[in-house]
Amino acid sequence: MDGRVALVTGASRGLGLAVVRKLAASGCTVYLNARDAAGAETAAAELRSLGGDVTAAPGDVSHPAVLPDLLRGLADKHGEVDILVHCAVSLHRMAAVEPRPEDMHWDYEVAVAPLIHAAATLPKVMSPNAGKVIAVSSAGAHRVVPAYVSLGLSKAALESLVRYLAVALAPTGVAVNAVSTARIDRGDASDPVSATLAGRTPAGRLTRPEDVADAVALLCADEAFWLRGQVITVDGGLGLVG
């Protein structure tokens, strides 16, 4: 993927940072977006020290104009944008019978609204017949996870939006897909829930951010051109055994 231009939202840490690291290692020129400008620059500087072509692109993508403006700015600079990976997320834990509408609305604004706000811009800035848009979802979009109702609803809506955008952008040759994962390994060996899920995972451990980043890179490959509107599950087989 040498020379391709990528923008990754929500990328100063965790899964998003792993995606930036993978794309940079694959030869992409990567713009690292995060709401925290200092955090974005710190993360970008660390990856540059390792040889990656990474630039901080701070901004709160929950605001309607931010993601479209970022995309247009990159297109003005580079001619077009090859890859957009939407990793930004917010989680307010709550029970389904004790909803907090304001917090639910915020989780939706971070997980789903950015791609809605950018929808009209995508066909104008993405590489024709080569552009890749990838959203990051989770198992909570389809399964009931304790205290996860807010983000679960948002991720379900995100996957639906991926399908609609995949059809709408197909005539331009831009491929829209998603990756979905279960609980991510945060390195806390003392967490009993993580230990239980790791034991139930057929592949023998929890999913790591790097596993998801690898799947994102696969969807960015030329060979993935004919995949449209798909949600690729990256969980080591956990979803297959319930």
Q: What is the mean pLDDT of each run of 10 residues along the chain (242 residues)?
A: 96 96 97 96 95 96 98 98 97 97 97 98 96 97 95 98 98 97 84 89 95 98 97 96 80
* Residue 72, domain extent: 60-206+219-232
How many residues are present in the chain? 242
Instruction: Give the pLDDT of residue 81.
Output: 98
Q: Residue 219 burial (CB < 10 Å; 0-12/13-18/19+)? A: buried
The verdict on residue 238 lying in a domain is no
* Total-model pTM: 0.95
Instruction: Give the pLDDT of residue 220.
Output: 97
**For residue 38, what are its two tokens?**
């200092």
* Coil, helix or strand at residue 61: coil
Q: How many domains is the chain partitioned into structurally?
A: 1
The verdict on residue 137 lying in a domain is yes
**For residue 239, what are its two tokens?**
């979803």
Q: What's the sign of the alpha-carbon dihedral 41, 46, 48, 52?
A: negative
**For residue 118, what are its two tokens?**
């950018």
* Coil, helix or strand at residue 80: coil
The verdict on residue 25 lying in a domain is no
The verdict on residue 114 lying in a domain is yes
145 φ/ψ sector (left φ>0, alpha ψ -120 to 50, else beta): beta
Instruction: Give the pLDDT of residue 189.
Output: 67
The verdict on residue 31 lying in a domain is no
Helices (H), 79-187: 101-111, 113-118, 122-125, 149-169
In DSSP terms, which residues pair with 83 in a beta bridge?
6, 132
- Distance between CA atoms of 12 and 226, rounded to whole angstroms? 30
CATH code for the domain in which residue 187 is found: 3.40.50.720
The verdict on residue 53 lying in a domain is no
The verdict on residue 127 lying in a domain is yes
**For residue 60, what are its two tokens?**
């709160």
The verdict on residue 242 lying in a domain is no
Q: Which H or E run contains 181?
A: strand 175-181
**For residue 148, what are its two tokens?**
């996860």
Q: What's the sign of the alpha-carbon dihedral 114, 117, 120, 121?
A: negative
Q: Catalytic residue positions?
A: 148, 155
Strands, E, within 33-160: which ranges?
Answer: 53-56, 83-86, 132-138
